[in-house]
Amino acid sequence: MTIKETEQQFKELLKEQKAYEESLYLMMWDLRTKAPRKGMELRSEVIGFLSQKIHVLSTSDQMKQFIDALKGKTNDPVLAKSVEECEKEYNRNKKIPEQEYKEYVTLQSRAESVWTEAREKGDFSLLQPYLEKLVDFKRKFAEYWGYEKHIYDALLDMYEPGVTTETLDQVFSALRIELTALVEKVNQSSHKPNPELLQHHFPKEKQEGFSLEILKRMGFDFEAGRLDETVHPFAIGINPKDVRVTTRYDEEDFRMAVFGTIHEGGHALYEQNIDPSLYQTPLAGGTSMGIHESQSLFWENFVARDEGFWENHFDVFKSFAPKEFQDLSFDDFYRAINEVKPSFIRIEADEMTYALHIMIRYELEKALIGGEIEVKDLPRLWNDKMEDYLGIRPESDRDGVLQDIHWSGGDFGYFPSYALGYMYAAQIHHAMKKELDVESFIRNGQFLKIKEWLGNKVHRYGKMKQPLEILKDVTGEGLNPSYLVDYLTEKYTKIYKL
């Protein structure tokens, strides 16, 4: 068989994998948005079946033959990178017995459904037995994959290749010192915003109208995506031409849906603008969760919480808002949406305390996977860390350990990407300002120029580049958390008149 014939057959295998993946992602989207509760048990079985099929294809003898035949021999750069990605996946998945993987995925989808009920009731005990099994699976998988220093590193590599607990411990420790000092200064300020000005009943359909308008202005392609409602907001790329955004509405606090939708919209723009040459390959997605998160946080914080954004959109906002907002001054409104105040819920956290939420989760799951703590102790330890880092203590599991869906989905090693993404976003924002008049573009609503810059620098590459390679190419340096500290210090010194 010639190289060309082998390449074509390899492409066909990749297409087959993608077909199963699209079916799986569509079912996962449905499970989290539209599926009736009584159908969840059987749906979990189907999700387990599809996941098993993908696992089998990725670890098949045929896949290994293609990897061996094409590695270092194909002149097609996309195929060469695809082979590299498939080899990494093959080596990882081949170490997990097929039946064991199916059991894990079935448990995973069931646990997500149980999490929904547990969260509604604020009862961690409902989820605990599922979480214990998931942790056991993850520890076992990490041992299969291997690691050099800490077992948690094997899970980190799934989401942020090249990052280790050693790196995170160092970076988070330094960032925590800077953030807590800044929060302390803000707390001592006598020039505090008044968030009560924003706490008026805001009908869900009106919030949705404003959210849809902002997504449109950001450049979200509604012919290649949609917006739906869910318990825990997420974005999912079925494929680059079908990228779905979800949000959660709180009629007493519009900020939940508006900023949440913009955040997920940032994820979606990444997925929608991947280069077509990568379609139907394993490269047609974000290069890492950290880089992915940098795009969502860029839009949510560096654009949508910017003063210029609201100078341009305040009248638009009022056209959707109820009468209580009509006489609200711009300055009071802008300062109120940027209030710094410790909160129980991560996705409601302000810019300054957000990373502290991530550090709490990182420290808990690292200790959990490392066998230093047990699942049954999570609610108490969570509350202790919240009190230690943020000065507040949840009164229920709903506002504490049950607020995020990630652990019920088995996503251990995922949370650090949120804080890494925030640091990446600040660094990318700093680099963008050297090439574009970012403040002017935001103030004038010229978001498509920002989208185009991000598309050219980040989005189009998909997984053709590694995360730290993207960061280095875009900013000219490795990870530097000082840009985030500088951004927060400058912005909140002005708002709180420090």
| pLDDT per position as a tens digit, 387-446 | 999 999 999 999 999 999 999 999 999 999 999 999 999 999 999 999 999 999 999 999
Q: Nearest 5°: phi and psi at 355?
A: -65, -30
Domain check: are 126 and 254 in the same one? Answer: no
Please report where in the chains the tokens 């995925």 appear, as a residue: 105
Average pLDDT, integer, range 198-227: 97
Is residue 158, in this structure, part of any structural domain at all?
no
Q: What secondary structure letter does DSSP report for 498?
A: -
Q: Which of 264, 271, 307, 339 is catalytic?
A: 264
pLDDT(76) > 90: yes
Is residue 237, in this structure, part of any structural domain at all?
yes
Write the pLDDT tens digit of every residue in 395-409: 999 999 999 999 999
pLDDT(367) > 90: yes
pLDDT for res 440: 96
Domain check: are 335 and 408 in the same one? Answer: yes
Is residue 248, in this structure, part of any structural domain at all?
yes
pLDDT for res 347: 83
Q: Are 150 and 117 in contact (CB under 8 A)?
A: no
Instruction: Pull the structure tokens for residue 133.
Output: 């099994």
Is residue 44, in this structure, part of any structural domain at all?
yes
Is residue 155, in this structure, part of any structural domain at all?
no
pLDDT for res 281: 96
Q: Nearest 5°: phi and psi at 150?
A: -130, 135
Domain check: are 335 and 366 in the same one? Answer: yes
The burial of 228, by beta-carbon neighbours within 10 Å (0-12 exposed, 13-18 middle, 19 or more buried), is given as middle
| Number of independent structural domains in the chain | 2
Domain check: are 228 and 279 in the same one? Answer: yes
Domain check: are 133 and 173 in the same one? Answer: no
What's the domain range around 347?
165-495
pLDDT for res 154: 96
pLDDT for res 1: 78
Residues annotated within the binding site for Zn(2+) are 263, 267, 293
CA 115 – CA 120 distance, rounded (Å):
8
CA 478 – CA 466 distance, rounded (Å):
12
Query: Quick one: pLDDT band at residue 66, thresholds 50, 70, 90?
Result: very high
Average pLDDT, integer, range 441-456: 97
Domain check: are 114 and 13 in the same one? Answer: yes
Could you write out the DSSP letters of every residue in 178-191?
HHHHHHHHHHH-S-
CA 30 – CA 317 distance, rounded (Å):
30
Domain check: are 185 and 52 in the same one? Answer: no
From 113, 146, 179, give the residue that closes a domain: 146
Tell me, yes or no, if 7 is annotated catalytic: no
pLDDT for res 34: 85
pLDDT for res 44: 84
pLDDT(48) > 90: no
Share above pLDDT 70 across residues of the chain, in percent, rounded to a whole number: 100
Is residue 367, in this structure, part of any structural domain at all?
yes
Average pLDDT, integer, range 12-27: 96
Write the pLDDT tens digit of every residue in 105-126: 899 989 998 999 999 999 999 9
Strand partners, 237: 243
Domain check: are 74 and 216 in the same one? Answer: no
Q: Nearest 5°: phi and psi at 239?
A: -160, 170
Query: Quick one: pLDDT band at residue 268, thresholds 50, 70, 90?
Result: very high
The burial of 358, by beta-carbon neighbours within 10 Å (0-12 exposed, 13-18 middle, 19 or more buried), is given as buried
Residues annotated within the binding site are 263, 267, 293
Q: Mean pLDDT of all residues in the chain?
A: 95
Query: Quick one: pLDDT band at residue 162, thresholds 50, 70, 90?
Result: confident
pLDDT(247) > 90: yes
Write the pLDDT tens digit of every residue in 283-321: 999 999 999 999 999 999 999 999 999 999 999 999 999
pLDDT(43) > 90: no
Q: Give the SS3 label for residue 156.
A: helix
pLDDT(40) > 90: no
- The domain that contains 276 carries what CATH number? 1.10.1370.30
Average pLDDT, integer, range 61-86: 96
335 or 162, which is more confident?
335
Average pLDDT, integer, range 222-228: 97
